[in-house]
Structure 1
Amino acid sequence: MARKIGSRYTAHQILGRGSAGTVWLGDGPEGPVAIKLLREDLAADQDLVERFVQERSALLHLDHPRVVGVRDLVVDGNELALVMDLVRGTDLRTRLERDRRLAPEAAVAIAADVADGLAAAHAAGLVHRDVKPENVLLDALSLEGPGGAPPALLTDFGVAKLIDSPSRTRATSIIGTPDYLAPEIVEGLPPRAAVDIYALATVLYELMAGFTPFGGGHPGAVLRRHVTESVAPLPGIPDELWQLVHQCLAKAPASRLRAVELATRLRELLPSLEGLPPLDIDEHVEDGYEHDEADEESGEGAASGPVTGAAQAAAGGGAVPLVHSRVGPDANRDTHTSMRVPAADELAGGAHGTARAPRPVGEARAGSAKHHRVAERRRRLKIGVVAALVAAALAVGGWLATSQDETGSLPAPAAGYSGG
């Protein structure tokens, strides 16, 4: 059923629902658009609306081919809507759900496109604050790039900041998606451009590995890992690419590259990645998450299921929903999750080491049940070998003693055979 959005736009079909609101396929004076109708409680917050309207100019002037453009902001009674460019294709989360992981060349090409978009936004003074696969759209109508990757566009600028306005949150709250939150946000510092670089490096890691470096289990455990644990290297990728990912996942914001530098470096690596297959990495657990011992001890071992929501194709071209519907619980990757900032002692109490170490297929994860079983089998095998050697030595010693008792001397060596 069609509904009017302001005086210029009409929404025809729901493309998806999410924590921020509902996205509709609509049209306006200049043709088809995507209309993000924000939740009623957001639109009813007058302070929030005024703050968002003040940033309208910056959002409307963020014009870059790697950013989904905001065409208009509609405030009409209790309705607050963003009118955005309509992108035909799919989103990166849907692509990951289908392929599990991408070849390094395609993953780097997508990340380079997103870095280009972030560079433009940061130059305009905008921080995205919620970079993740759900907010990366793949344009199916454009020519494919390196590795067969379609051009990628970043969307949802301004929404995280809108929901995180002072009138809606306390200083002790965190707004964001746990898997992609930079350590400084977990520690309560204001988000700067470097948080987007950290999130993008997490996305790039996920595109190649099939899982995020610090995700899994209770959101509190995920936040702790961002602060206390180092990222595990990915086996099978060129060292130069790994060093780049590692640098952008640095705990210290100043150690990360700027977006424009990251985009340049990623594109320089593309020729060396041509033809490399997706990484052959063992799945960490069957359901896509794993729990460390610290999680179990603190009662944080109840994992959420992996994301199962997917884009719904619109009639006549497969329009991309900018906010997605969900099937089942999605605590780990839900957009704009509000969490309490962990206290210093809680962060310090986490496991210090390497989180979720990827490994070649067939190799058990250190500390896992399979790893302990393999270690126990090896231990028992060693004990068995040692016992057999001891028994053999005792047997030989007994035989020698018996022979000496019977003959009074040790037996002579056997004579060699010579043919005649």
Structure 2
Amino acid sequence: MTAYGIPPVAGLGPRDPVRLGPYRLAGVLGMGGMGTVYLAEGPQGPVALKMINNNLARDHEFVMRFQREVAAARKVRRFCTAPVLDARLEGEPLWLVTEYVAGPDLSRVLRNGGPLAGSNVEALAVGMATALSAIHGAGVVHRDLKPANVLLSPLGPRVIDFGIARALDGGLGQTATGRLLGTPEYMAPELVSGHKAGPPADIFAWGCVVVAAATGRSPFASKTVPEALYRVSHDTPSLDAIDPALRGPVEAALNKDPAARPTADQLLAVLTGRSHADTADLAGGLRLDLSSVGTPPTSLAGGVQNPHEPAVRRTGKWRLLLAAAAGAATVGLAVGVGELSRSLPSGPPSAAGVIFKETFDKGDTGWRDDSGGVNGARGYTGDGRYTMSSDSGSRDKWAPAPVNVQVPEEVLVSAKVGIPRADTSGWAGLYCEYSTVDSPETFFYYTFHVRKEGQAKIVKTDGALVTDLTSDIRVPGYKEGTVLRALCSRGGGAIRLSLWAGDAKIAEVTDTDIARGAGRPKFGLGISQSEFDDTATRAYFDDFVVSRLS
């Protein structure tokens, strides 16, 4: 696949089901706070199947909201959406089936290749307005329209996940865990002030997404959540970079007063010049020219580059792959999963010498210790390990390694990582830090982590901005206590990062956006509880080592 073509598919792990109802699961498309999304083969061809996390499926109130939202989403017409095709609404596991769109999401395209070309922005604006017309016409509010929820295909954009986010809603714009529901840079001002989401909130988000498609970022892009919420409520963004044909509708959509915003039908009328736009005709005639995003650039937006992602040039092969995935499933699924789920071939590098080693056999070697033994919040267990657990007051915990020697710019960091609870969806792992000042606003570090079910990834944190540098990648043969190894190498205006689980190379990226990462290298351990899961995450660590490679 290219950096923008068919979405990446990871192979099934030992804990993944192979069949749900009439659907044969072929691979993992992604994971989120609600559940895992699989690429599946159904009676009519390929579909996307979202299996709901068990902890949510056991929550009676969540199940009732889920049933209600699925019933409403089924009424949405197909125009420029990925419609709901099937669902299991009772028992375990709950799941939801939608049409599979063999194309990248807009967020990934913007992150890896920058803004869309002018004609594509116009097609996107019309397609999203068409989708909102269908969604609102069914009495549904999307509530979380953003680039990640807009898929791109040659037959036009497809809006996904409409209304389903409300099943997580425990109140006015918040989840049951108290977390903000929505993406701050795309939230309407009325949501910031605590009002319920209505169709005008989706129109505001439509304007934000159009600006992002044309410029590469939301008009309210910010480094911190409070800044984003303030800007959404008070700023009037410049729209000089927007095509004049779109500037008026976008400006109207971004009005702070929800009553002053146009409806989706009114947007369509302005965009198409038709007083009574024929939605079916519009949806059938939309096209996106994806040839302009068919070849991955040598340096990706944001400075992240993944040389191990197979390249497919701007040729008919890319279109044929799309056609295969969108057509009969049997051959297309086998090819997609076979090409995309294989591990990177090289094992971890050989260390030239150990800089720092900790076996946790003693309890006074300088690591943070809140006491409590094997069940403590953070500290030595007393049996030769180190542990951390999340709680209601701290969903994330960190333990810096007490390394008091000069560290070279290229090191290999490793530790055994174990997550004993089978029902947690949180993560645990290693980090490399390059902060210049010890302050949350200036923290700059990379996390290399794994989940209980055997998915790993590399994540970058720059102040309040958190970026997934890789997708969730299935770890072959993952088991409790697997050794994670992270290569952190700074030099030549970039930071190179690699992750191994056992001897399997999971991911490799190069980050050139490192202006704020000029501090002395530091390393440590960390855990995090899932945003939408109240189940605590506990991890045990052993044999933490920092080694030089040259």
Q: TM-score, normalised by structure 1?
A: 0.61
Match for 1:24 among 38, 45, 61?
A: 38
CA contact (8 A) 1:92 1:133 kept: yes
Q: 1:243 aligns with which of 243, 248, 266?
A: 248
Partner of 1:252: 257
Q: Distance in 1 between matches of 2:242 and 2:136?
A: 33
Q: Give me the whole-angstrom Cα distance separating, in 2, the residues matched to 1:74 and 1:236.
A: 43
Distance in 2, matches of 1:169 and 1:88, equals 30
Matched, 1:111 2:111: no
Would you say the 8 A contact 1:25–1:34 is kept in 2? yes
Instruction: Tell me, in whole angstroms, the C-alpha distance in 2 between the residues paired with 1:9 and 1:39.
Output: 18
**Aligned: 1:157 with 2:133:** no
- Match status 1:34 vs 2:34: no
Per the alignment, residue 193 of structure 1 pairs with: 199
Distance change in 2, residues 1:60/1:265 (3 Å): same
Q: 222-231 or 51-60, which moves further after superposition?
A: 51-60
Q: 2:227 aligns with which of 199, 221, 230?
A: 221
Distance in 2 (CA, whole Å) between partners of 1:26 and 1:172 is 33
Query: In structure 1, what is the Cα distance between the partners aligned to 2:188 and 2:52?
Result: 26
For 1:247-286, list aligned pairs within 5 A: 247-268=252-273
Distance in 2 between the 1:25 and 1:191 partners?
31
SS at match of 1:79: coil
Partner residue, 2:494? none
**Matched letter for residue 143 of structure 2:** R
- 2:71 equivalent to 1:57: yes
Between 300-309 and 94-103, the greater mean CA deviation after superposition: 300-309
Q: Is the 8 A contact 1:94 1:310 kept in 2?
A: no
**Alpha carbons 2:215, 2:241 under 8 Å: kept:** no
Residue type at the aligned position of 2:139? G
State the partner residue of 1:378. none
Between the aligned partners of 1:53 and 1:98, the Cα distance in structure 2 is: 36
Structure 1 counterpart of 2:247, which letter? Answer: W
User: Against the structure 1 CA distance between its residues 81 and 51, is the aligned structure 2 distance closer, same or farther, given a 3 Å change threshold?
Assistant: same
Q: Deviations over 1:145-199 (max 9, x none)?
A: xxxxxx0111112321011144984697531111100000000001000010111
Q: Are residues 74 and 105 of structure 1, via their aligned partners in 2, closer, same or farther at CA, if it must alter by over 3 Å?
A: same
Which one of the candidate residues 117, 139, 143 is aligned to 1:125?
139
**Take 2:264 and 2:531, find their aligned partners in 1: how far apart are those partners?**
25
Aligned-partner Cα distance in 1 for 2:302–2:72: 41
Helix, strand or coil at the partner of 1:137: strand
* Per-residue CA distance 1:278-337 (angstroms, 9 max, x = gap): 9xxxxxxx959xxxxxxxxx975624155545699xxxxxxxxxxxx9x99xxxxxxx97
Partner-residue secondary structure (3-state), 1:102: coil
CA distance in 2, matches of 1:198, 1:300: 28
> How many angstroms does 1:60 deviate by?
1.9
1:85 Cα deviation after fit: 0.8
Q: For residues 15-414 of structure 1, what are the structure 2 equivalents within 5 Å?
A: 15-75=29-89, 77-140=91-154, 142=155, 151-166=156-171, 169=175, 174-235=180-241, 237-238=243-244, 240-268=245-273, 302-306=463-467, 308-309=469-470
CA distance in 2, matches of 1:51, 1:176: 17
Between Structure 1 and Structure 2, whose CA radius of gyration is higher?
1
**Residues 101 and 307 of structure 1: CA distance in aligned 2, closer, same or farther (over 3 Å):** farther
Q: Contact 2:69–2:167 at 8 Å: present in 1 too?
A: no
List gaps (5 residues or longer) in structure 1.
143-150, 270-277, 279-285, 289-297, 313-324, 329-335, 339-420
RCO (CA 8 Å, sep 6+): is it higher in 1 or 2?
1
Deviation, 1:20, is: 2.6
Return 5+ residue gaps in structure 2 as ranges.
1-11, 275-291, 293-300, 304-438, 443-462, 474-506, 511-529, 533-550
| 1:123–1:28 Cα change, 3 Å | same
Tell me what 1:396 maps to. Answer: none
Task: Name the count of aligned residue pairs.
Answer: 287
CA offsets per residue over residues 349-383 of structure 1, 9 Å max, x none? xxxxxxxxxxxxxxxxxxxxxxxxxxxxxxxxxxx
SS of corresponding position for 1:230: coil
Against the structure 1 CA distance between its residues 50 and 5, is the aligned structure 2 distance closer, same or farther, given a 3 Å change threshold?
farther
Counterpart Cα distance in 2 of 1:55 and 1:200? 21
**AA partner of residue 47 (structure 1):** E
Output the amino acid matched with 1:253: P
Aligned-CA RMSD value:
3.5
Distance 2:89 2:81 in 1: 23
Q: How many Å separate the matches in 2 of 1:57 and 1:43?
A: 17
2-structure distance, mates of 1:65, 1:311 = 30
- Report if the CA contact (8 A) 1:178-1:222 is conserved: yes
* Conservation of the 8 A alpha-carbon contact between 1:102 and 1:207: yes
**Cα 1:189–1:20, aligned 2, differ >3 Å: closer, same or farther?**
same
Determine what percentage of the aligned residue pairs are the same residue: 33
Residue 138 (structure 1) shift: 1.4
1:283: which partner in 2? none
SS of the residue 1:216 aligns to: coil
Higher helix share: 1
**C-alpha spacing 1:337/1:242, structure 2 compared with 1 (3 Å):** farther
1:82-112 C-alpha deviation (Å, 9 max, x unpaired): 1111112222122212331122321121121
| In structure 2, distance between residues paired with 1:236 and 1:198 | 16
- Residues 337, 211 of structure 1: CA spacing in aligned structure 2 closer, same or farther, 3 A cutoff? farther
